[in-house]
Amino acid sequence: MGGGAGQMTDSGFPLSRGEETVVEVSMSVNGETRTSDVEPRTLLVHYIRGALGLTGTNIGCDTSSCGACTIHVNGRSVKSCTMLAVQADGTEITTIEGLAGDDGELHPMQVAFMECHGLQCGYCTPGMVMAATSLVAENPDGLDEAAVRQGLEGNLCRCTGYHNIVKAVLSVGGTA
């Protein structure tokens, strides 16, 4: 982790710019290296939405209860409201905007959510898709309905579309 404007005090704390303490962070976001100065208390979700303009990562609760802000950090799903931007320094982040292929072709999980009607209002969908892709990747031998429900229990759908969400996940990573 770098220091404010790249400099640190002798005690190892970042330098202040006037009244504001900043820390330089650098991370790969959707395959592109992004470097910024952030306040040490900035939540990763606020950095992604505000500084990077990637608004597909939603803020639903700010308490880690809903999962709307789920992203991938080094390939694993993380609720970005539970992580500071400085903690993500040096990591590889994928947001919903980076899940599709470079040619714009949707990820199989995105297609499954559309085909299985796994979305209603759509607010939970980006976080749900990110959690589901990680869940499938972590279970290469396949999942059954109970495993999907348990694996996604940290992501809430207020429209109660769980049946179709589970159906979508199983269509991508279900057992035969």
How large is the average pLDDT for residues 57-73? Answer: 94
Does the pLDDT of residue 11 top 90, yes or no? Answer: no
| Per-residue model confidence (pLDDT) at position 53 | 97
Written as six digits, the tokens of 124 are 């939970």
How large is the average pLDDT for residues 21-39? Answer: 97
Does the pLDDT of residue 6 top 90, yes or no? Answer: no
Whole-angstrom CA distances from 92 to 27, 71, 82, 105, 167 are: 6, 11, 17, 21, 29
Written as six digits, the tokens of 121 are 């209002």
Strands 20-21 and 23-29: unpaired
Does the pLDDT of residue 63 top 80, yes or no? Answer: yes
113 in Cβ contact with 168 (< 8 Å): yes
| Per-residue model confidence (pLDDT) at position 52 | 97
The full DSSP string for 49-117 is IIIS--TTS--S-SSSSS-TTEEEETTEEEEGGGSBGGGGTT-EEE-GGGTS-TTSPPPHHHHHHHHTT
Among 115, 130, 14, CA closest to 77: 130
The whole model's pTM is what? 0.87
| Per-residue model confidence (pLDDT) at position 98 | 97
| Per-residue model confidence (pLDDT) at position 12 | 52
Q: Which of 1-15, 29-43, 103-117, 156-170 has the lowest mean pLDDT?
A: 1-15
| Per-residue model confidence (pLDDT) at position 1 | 44
125 in Cβ contact with 112 (< 8 Å): no
| Per-residue model confidence (pLDDT) at position 14 | 57
Whole-angstrom CA distances from 155 to 26, 63, 103, 126 are: 28, 12, 29, 10
How large is the average pLDDT for residues 115-142? Answer: 95
| Per-residue model confidence (pLDDT) at position 5 | 46
| Per-residue model confidence (pLDDT) at position 70 | 98
